[in-house]
Amino acid sequence: MPKNKVVSLEEAMSHIESGMTVAVGGFLSQGDPLTLIHGLKDTDVKDLTMISCTGGFRDRGIVELVKLGKVRKLIASHIGTTPDVVKAYHAGELEVELIPQGTLAEQMRSGGAGLGGFLTPTGLGTVVAENKQHIEVNGRTYLLEKALRADVSLVRAHDGDTWGNLRYRGTASNYNPVCAVCSDYTIAEVEYLYSPGEIAPESVHTPGLYVKAVVRADLHYRGSSLSAC
Amino acid sequence: MSDIKNTIAARAAQELTDGQVINLGIGVPTLVANHVPPGVDVVIHSENGAVGVGPAPDALCSDPDRGNAGGAPITLIAGGSYFDSATSFGMIRGGHVDMTFLGTLQVDGEGNIASYEIPGKLVAGMGGAMDLLAGAKTVNVLTEHCSKDGSSKLVEKCTFPLTGAGEADVIITERALFRRHVDKGFVLEEVARGYTVDDIKACTDMDYTVSDAVKLNAYGLEE
């Protein structure tokens, strides 16, 4: 494992190719890897399948890639906060697969944990259950949901070190930890970059072995300014 | 309008018991937090990854890394914590969230809830609602009794895609409260001020029975 994974945004983006499946952390712009998404905007990559809880928030996030025609399919839980994603779907420009939020998180976690899938009660009796195997365990019925894996994952963390150890902040954690594990090549943008050991080992949320490349976050691509509260 | 919403939220808050962990959906359910009865202490869970949610911060103190499931800024009370989505939905499915409050498009007498999609019109995604319905111990449906066109939202049978099958436990509108019992389905237990049992019958398409002890003038705005 290389001990210094810090690369330029361009170098990190060179690992993403047209036709790939890309998983993205974040939820309604909380913890969205906006630096990496903007990096992807500047490439020629297209025909992507993207896995993300939401399409972003209003005009920020994955919706920006959708508007550029780079996304063929979006696997998500909620696209209602990005009207342009809904519009692309209705126009037939974008395929959308909607998945319950907890199921999506567990599919990504399972994909990274070497599991084929898991059993959940979520979605029983709804369209989500159609054409899925129903399995009874101890008298209770569950759906078999299969794991998800991606070629590349894009995540954002508040703190990271040069090994790729990551620590998230507040509700910006959300899908980033499961996203970091579910692919072959995880790229992390970090707001604050530390030397190994500066983040206490007990405080590491995503161990560096999952992360292949670390990019300094462009703080321009963040929500409103931090407060003292 | 806001009076209708607060009437529903205030009655819904009476369902809370001390020590519960609760989840509030977007819209009217969020208002439940403003009506928690004195002496009742509940802990608010937000499915995007927080427990112990406190009052909203003032605008100058908002922080993009501290938001709720609707994207609005939050604070935490002392003892609250943040966690990732896999953990959060494990809490929900695992039965660690006692009660959830959500709005709906339709609800029917079998406890079916259709809250997330109007085919061809509104395609947004189910978000966390399916997990919450499947996992929370008690599901409270908070809704205006009728749509803007006057049709009952308490329908004979849900026609929109279901969010959960047989998951509704209590339905609270600005006009009435129905509670579902294992043996007899939904029972009309309370009628709000300004309405009669017959009024409720006239505006409700859902199957239900009337409790022998139905309470009139049970809640709602004072005259």
Q: Which domains does chain B have, with CATH numbers?
A: 2-215 (3.40.1080.10)
Question: Is B165–A126 a contact, with Cβ atoms under 8 angstroms apart?
Answer: yes
- How do beta strands B117-118 and B122-123 pair? antiparallel
Cα separation, A174 vs B82, in Å, equals: 9
Cα separation, B70 vs B47, in Å, equals: 10
User: At A226, which amino acid appears?
Assistant: L
Query: Is B47 labeled as catalytic in the residue annotation?
Result: yes
Tell whether A146 is covered by a domain: no
B123 touches chain A (CB under 8 A): yes
Tell whether A85 is covered by a domain: yes
A83 touches chain B (CB under 8 A): no
Cα separation, A190 vs A199, in Å, equals: 13
User: At B43, which amino acid appears?
Assistant: V
Please state, as a whole number, how many other Cβ atoms lie within 10 Å of the Cβ of residue B211.
Answer: 16
Residues of chain B positioned with their CB less than 8 A from the CB of A27? 48-49, 85
What is the distance in angstroms between the Cα of A140 and the nearest Cα belonging to chain B? 12
- Give the SS3 label for residue A57: strand
Question: Is A121–B92 a contact, with Cβ atoms under 8 angstroms apart?
Answer: no
Chain A residue closest to B133 (CA)? A122
Exposed, middle or buried: residue A195 (CB in 10 Å: 0-12, 13-18, 19+)?
exposed
- Which pLDDT score, from 0 to 100, does residue A226 have? 39
What is the distance in angstroms between the Cα of B116 and the nearest Cα belonging to chain A? 10
Please state, as a whole number, how many other Cβ atoms lie within 10 Å of the Cβ of residue A45.
Answer: 18
Exposed, middle or buried: residue B58 (CB in 10 Å: 0-12, 13-18, 19+)?
exposed
User: At B23, which amino acid appears?
Assistant: N
Question: Is B125–A77 a contact, with Cβ atoms under 8 angstroms apart?
Answer: yes
Question: Is B125–A76 a contact, with Cβ atoms under 8 angstroms apart?
Answer: yes
B86 touches chain A (CB under 8 A): yes
- How do beta strands A95-98 and A71-76 pair? parallel
Instruction: Report whether A218 contacts A11 (CB < 8 A).
Output: no
pTM of the model: 0.95
Cα separation, B223 vs A157, in Å, equals: 54
- Which pLDDT score, from 0 to 100, does residue A228 have? 36
A228 touches chain B (CB under 8 A): yes
Show the tokens assigned to B207. Answer: 């199957």
pLDDT, tens digit, for every residue of B32-52?
A: 999 999 999 999 999 999 999
3-state secondary structure B52-111: EECCCCCHHHCCCCCECCCCCECCEEEEEEECEHHHHHHHHHCCCCCEEEECCCEEECCC
Tell whether A159 is covered by a domain: yes
Provide, rounded to the nearest whole percent, the portion of chain B with pLDDT above 70. Answer: 98
A57 touches chain B (CB under 8 A): yes
What is the distance in angstroms between the Cα of B214 and the nearest Cα belonging to chain A? 32
Give the total number of structural domains in chain A. 1
Strand order in the sheet with A140-146: A117-120, A140-146, A134-137
Cα separation, A47 vs B155, in Å, equals: 43
User: Which domain CATH number covers A21?
Assistant: 3.40.1080.10
pLDDT greater than 70 at residue B216:
yes
Residues of chain B positioned with their CB less than 8 A from the CB of A178? 84-86
Q: Catalytic: which of B15, B47, B174, B190?
A: B47
pLDDT, tens digit, for every residue of B141-157?
A: 999 999 999 999 999 99
Question: Is B166–A125 a contact, with Cβ atoms under 8 angstroms apart?
Answer: yes
Tell whether A88 is covered by a domain: yes
A52 touches chain B (CB under 8 A): no
Instruction: Report whether B30 contacts B54 (CB < 8 A).
Output: no
Question: Is A126–B84 a contact, with Cβ atoms under 8 angstroms apart?
Answer: no
Cα separation, A100 vs B186, in Å, equals: 27
Cα separation, A110 vs A207, in Å, equals: 17
Residue ranges of B 158-197 with Cβ closer than 8 A to chain A: 161-166
Show the tokens assigned to B157. Answer: 């049978």
Closest CA to A28 of A72, A60, A76, A73: A60
Question: Is B166–A228 a contact, with Cβ atoms under 8 angstroms apart?
Answer: no
Least confident of B26-35, B83-92, B191-200: B26-35
B68 touches chain A (CB under 8 A): yes
- How do beta strands B113-114 and B209-215 pair? unpaired
What was the ipTM of the complex prediction?
0.95
Tell whether A223 is covered by a domain: no
pLDDT greater than 60 at residue B223:
no
Question: Is A89–B128 a contact, with Cβ atoms under 8 angstroms apart?
Answer: no
Determine the angle formed by the axes of helices A101-112 and B85-93, rounding to 10 degrees: 120
Residues of chain B positioned with their CB less than 8 A from the CB of A123? 130, 134
pLDDT greater than 60 at residue B99:
yes
Tell whether A63 is covered by a domain: yes
Q: Mean pLDDT for each consecutive 10-residue tract of chain A (229 residues)? A: 92 98 95 97 98 94 97 97 95 97 98 98 98 98 98 98 98 97 98 97 98 94 48
pLDDT, tens digit, for every residue of A62-87?
A: 999 999 999 999 999 999 999 999 99
Cα separation, A228 vs A100, in Å, equals: 35
- B214: CB partners within 8 A, 6+ apart: B188, B189, B190, B191, B197
pLDDT tier at B58, thresholds 50, 70, 90 = confident
**DSSP H stretches of helix in chain A:** 9-13, 34-41, 62-67, 83-90, 101-112, 176-181
pLDDT, mean over chain B: 95
Domain interval for residue A44: 9-98+151-176+184-216
**Torsion-angle region of A71 (φ positive above 0: left; ψ -120 to 50: alpha; else: beta):** beta
Tell whether A30 is covered by a domain: yes
pLDDT, tens digit, for every residue of B4-23?
A: 999 999 999 999 999 999 99
- Which pLDDT score, from 0 to 100, does residue A225 have? 37
- Compare B71 and B174 and report the one with higher pLDDT: B174
Tell whether A155 is covered by a domain: yes
What is the distance in angstroms between the Cα of A210 and the nearest Cα belonging to chain B? 16
User: At B194, which amino acid appears?
Assistant: G
A109 touches chain B (CB under 8 A): yes
- Which pLDDT score, from 0 to 100, does residue A227 have? 40
B118 touches chain A (CB under 8 A): no
The shortest CB-CB distance from A123 to any of B50, B127, B130 is to: B130
End-to-end Cα spacing for chain A: 38
B81 touches chain A (CB under 8 A): no
